[in-house]
Amino acid sequence: MGHNESVIDRPFERTLKGAIFDLGGVMTEPLGRHRETIVDPVQLDLLRFFLNEFRDVYHLPTGAHDLHLLETGAISDEEFFARMAARYIAAGGHEAVDARIAQHVVFGGGLPACGAMIDTVRQVKGAGYRTALLTNISRSGESVWRSLLPVEELFDVVVDSSQVGLRKPDPAIFLLTCERLGLAPHDCLFVDDMRCNVDAATELGMTTIQCHDPVTIADEVVEMLLGRAAAAEPESAGAGQ
């Protein structure tokens, strides 16, 4: 599959009433772009260590790993990266590394928002769809998404994993989001960059899109929900679903 291709799971044709969007990699530029600039061998080794842990545990809906604890609000960012750095050293043959460096290696300097996706959500909401932001994020995450996006303008509902104590791909967090939107899962489109999250939402009956490139997917969402090209002028009010 090419980088700019998307995966759309549409169990059957139906009229959708809501759209649920992930934060990182959907409402922002693809995650981890900063990692392409890392050349320091110690930082590269630390990054490999993190990515191996991420690959092994992210897809589990719940658990006792620090990533699960971070995203359900049980530990802070500082605790997470201090403990990750300690595990890295304990794994053997590694130099000591400062937790702040570990955090920079993983997250870089921030999450640049995707203007195309912001415009898409604005159009979708303006057309009468119910909209939600559903994110796996740490306790400090609220300051992140509030600084990135005009949240109140774009979303009827925000479900933050660290605030509700649930995380994707646990089906319970998808059902909670739908409940807060006042919709059934089959009424909703879900857009996320992680395949395991897309699969979980599909199992619940949602129409889903896996996002590899938010600019491309922004166009696809407009075409799917509004029936026109993203660059086209919005139709007159009253086109809500």
DSSP state of 5: -
Report yes or no on 239 lying in a domain. Answer: no
This prediction's pTM: 0.87
- E strand map for the chain: 7-9, 18-21, 130-135, 157-160, 188-192, 207-210
Beta strands in 29-186 (DSSP E): 130-135, 157-160
**CA-wise closest residue to 167 among 150, 147, 192:** 192
What three-state secondary structure class fits 203?
helix
Residue 160, SS3 per DSSP:
strand
pLDDT at residue 7, as a whole number: 55
> What pLDDT, on the 0 to 100 scale, is given for residue 71?
97
Phi-psi region of 25 (alpha: psi -120 to 50; beta: other; left: phi over 0): left
122, 212: one domain: yes
Residues 119, 214 share a domain? yes
Which of residues 60, 78, 107 is at a domain's end? Answer: 107
Domain boundary among 107, 133, 160: 107
Domain span at 48 = 33-107
Residues 6+ apart with CB under 8 A from 107: none
Q: What is the pLDDT along the chain (241 residues), one digit of tens a residue?
A: 344 445 555 544 458 999 999 999 999 988 767 677 777 788 888 888 999 999 999 999 989 999 999 999 999 999 999 999 999 988 886 778 888 888 888 877 677 899 999 999 999 999 999 999 999 999 998 988 999 999 999 999 999 999 999 999 999 999 999 999 999 999 999 999 999 999 999 999 999 999 999 999 999 999 999 998 765 555 433 333 3
Q: Are residues 13 and 41 located together in one domain of the fold?
A: no
Answer yes or no: is 13 within a domain.
yes
Residue 103: its pLDDT value, please? 86
Q: Does residue 217 share a domain with residue 184?
A: yes
Residue 102 and residue 181 in one domain: no
Residue 238, in any domain of the structure: no
CA 5, 11, 14 angle in degrees (round to 5)?
105
176 in Cβ contact with 184 (< 8 Å) = no
C-alpha span between 232 and 61 (Å, rounded): 39
Q: Residue 160's beta-bridge partner residues? A: 135
Q: Report the number of distinct structural domains present in the chain.
A: 2
The domain boundary residue, chosen from 90, 107, 124: 107
